[in-house]
Amino acid sequence: MDISGFAGSIIDAAHEDYDNARTTWNGMIDQKPAAIAMCSSVDDVVAAVRYAAATGMTAAARCGGHSVSGASTPEGGLVIDLSALNAVDVDPNARIAQVGGGALLGDLDAAAQEHGLAVTAGVEPETGVGGLTLGGGIGFLARKLGLSVDNLVGAEMVLADGTITYSDKDTHPDLFWAIRGGGGQFGIVTRFDFQVHPIGPNIVVSHAYYPLEKARQVMRYVREFMHNASDEVAMLPAFMKIPAVDPFPIEWHGEPCAVVVSCHVGEHSAAKAELQPLLEKGDLIFGFLDEQPYLEFQKTFGGASPKGGRFYWKSIFFDDLTDDLVDLMVEGIQTLPGEYTLIFTEALGGAVGRIGVEDTAFSNRTARYNMGLSAGWVDPNDDEAIIAASRAWFEKLKPFSDGTVYLNYLDRDELSRAQEGFGANYKRLKRVKQKYDPNGVFAGALTPD
């Protein structure tokens, strides 16, 4: 494949590295793009987009390749790989971070923390900044700072006709609105500009791992606490299988448990007093409360879902952590197979809920929680059984849903749920898609009229 003006490398099916290059984080994804364009500059992105548009080929950006659905690897399409565009430049005086479209969350966290600054990022350092942000961007700092998109002040993009543009609240405001939660289907973002904020370097964190018989008691405390919690507190209640590593007691390795991972970015002595009760709900399997560098805390879940594992996701937004829902999560972690299987819950509210539903394309501003099932395993022979079990469990979960869904957690068989994710903003997003990508060059759930 010859792309005029392209200075990077092109990897197509005839290339010896093709199978490796098309592989992403989720080992379930076996999509075969026509080629992967390894871009070395913004000019390369322009050349790749123009080639896709001229040939009628669907194009998608790839940063971390961490989409569970394989969204960055369109079948028969063109992968525009941005991994070389990973520079992160932080202006500590203006508190602005300029982040290359190929940067990972770990890159952003590290560069910002050099200046004692941070922005809401996800919980897996290997995730791409682009994919996380364009879908909304939930992370531990969301209650304090809002979503990743709430801290985005502008973006450099390559549009479907190959032009380079910048969008912010004053320039192409409709496009800027759409990329804050509408996904990567309006253009290829080559640079994100974020407002960053003083965080750390140390924050107060706690981990509390309990036997499942304590699940109701622990989650009742989380529910009551989070109803009145300050914005400085973040909690991630989850159900998981104890990893076979220190410091977990060997007799618990591989056993299911209830866990609450928390952080508090307020004054340290008060923060410790607020989080201490989480360690006092009965006999702990393992737990601690301490100060920790924010940068290290952000790596808490790094490797929990290792690259190359096989993953299948389901998710809902919901409003209340009731006993019945907790019982269902306990049932899920006891019965759903998979050595990496995790049921996690992100506590929302705070700054997330103070943004209007129509102020950004991210529409769900009222839910108190977002829950995800990440079923994870190794053996391909288990695919059908685990996916079937996950779907069956999800059917029981539906009555607890508020009817919406986080777009970043949609799996490949759930594109029909995308409209639930866009909510009241769906029609407006369709208009923006029609304006900026009328021929459907970029992959995504929206199609131009």
Assign residue 111 the CATH number of its domain.
3.30.465.10
> Does residue 445 form part of some domain?
no
**CATH number, position 66:** 3.30.43.10
* pLDDT score for 208: 98
Assess if residue 224 is contained within a domain.
Answer: yes
Same-domain check for residues 96 and 121: yes
Is residue 353, in this structure, part of any structural domain at all?
Answer: yes
Q: Using the structure block, give the residue that is written with the tokens 């590290």.
A: 110
> Is 448 a domain residue?
no
Based on the fold, state whether residues 125 and 54 are members of the same structural domain: no
274 and 293 housed in the same domain: yes
Q: Among 423, 184, 414, which Cα is nearest to 314's?
A: 414
Domain membership of residue 3 (yes or no) is no
Task: Kindly list the distances between the CA atom of residue 29 and the CA atoms of 25, 135, 169, 237, 308, in Å, as whole numbers in the listed order.
Answer: 8, 20, 37, 28, 10
Point out the domain boundary residue: 81, 106, 141: 81
- 67, 24 Cβ separation under 8 angstroms: yes
pLDDT value of residue 415:
82
Asked whether residue 4 is domain-assigned, the answer is: no
- Pair (174, 105) in one structural domain: yes
Residues of the chain with pLDDT under 50: none
Based on the fold, state whether residues 299 and 225 are members of the same structural domain.
Answer: yes
Shared-domain flag, residues 244 and 348 = yes
Report the C-alpha gap between 196 and 429 in whole angstroms.
27
Of 81, 108, 134, which residue constitutes the final position of a domain?
Answer: 81
CA–CA gap between residue 339 and residue 393 (Å, rounded): 17
- The side-by-side arrangement of strands in the sheet containing 233-241 is 286-293, 202-210, 256-264, 233-241, 342-347, 369-377, 310-318
Cβ-based burial of 267 (10 A; exposed 0-12, middle 13-18, buried ≥19) = exposed
The answer to whether 128 and 212 have CB atoms below 8 angstroms apart is: no
Going from the C-alpha of 89 to that of each of 82, 244, 273, 287, the distances in angstroms are 17, 38, 37, 37
Q: What is the pLDDT of residue 303?
A: 85
Q: How far is CA 99 from CA 106, 108, 175, 189, 425, in A?
A: 12, 7, 19, 10, 27
Domain check: are 140 and 73 in the same one?
A: no
Which of 336, 345, 285 has its CA nearest to residue 123? 345
CA angle, residues 49, 51, 55, in degrees to nearest 5: 120
Does 230 share its domain with 123? no
Residue 332 and residue 211 share a domain? yes
Residue 377: give its domain's CATH number. Answer: 3.40.462.20
DSSP label of 341:
-
Q: Which pLDDT tens digit goes with each residue over 269-319?
A: 999 999 999 999 989 999 999 999 999 999 999 988 999 999 999 999 999
> Rounded to 5 degrees, what are φ and ψ at 199?
-145, 135
Q: Are residues 292 and 321 in the same domain?
A: yes
How many CA atoms are closer than 13 Å to the CA of 331, on its beta-carbon side? 13
Q: What pLDDT is attached to residue 317?
A: 97
Q: Supply the Cα-derived Rg of the chain in whole angstroms.
A: 21
Q: How far apart are CA 364 and CA 361, in angstroms?
A: 9
Whether 443 maps to a domain, the answer reads no
Q: What would the two tokens of residue 258 be?
A: 């209830």
Task: Classify strands 78-81 and 59-62 as parallel, antiparallel or unpaired.
Answer: parallel
State the pLDDT at residue 447. 85
Residue 167 within any structural domain of the chain: yes
Nearest to 212 by CA among 252, 168, 257, 253: 257
- The pLDDT value given to residue 316: 97
Give the C-alpha separation, 238 to 123, whole Å.
Answer: 13
Structurally, the chain folds into a number of domains equal to 3
Same domain, 212 and 278: yes
Q: Which of 43, 61, 81 is the last residue of a domain?
A: 81
Do 331 and 259 lie in one domain? The reply is: yes
C-alpha torsion angle, residues 302, 305, 308, 309 (rounded to 10): 160
Instruction: Return the SS3 of 118.
Output: strand
Domain of residue 188 covers: 88-199+426-436
Burial of 427 (0-12, 13-18, 19+ CB in 10 A): exposed
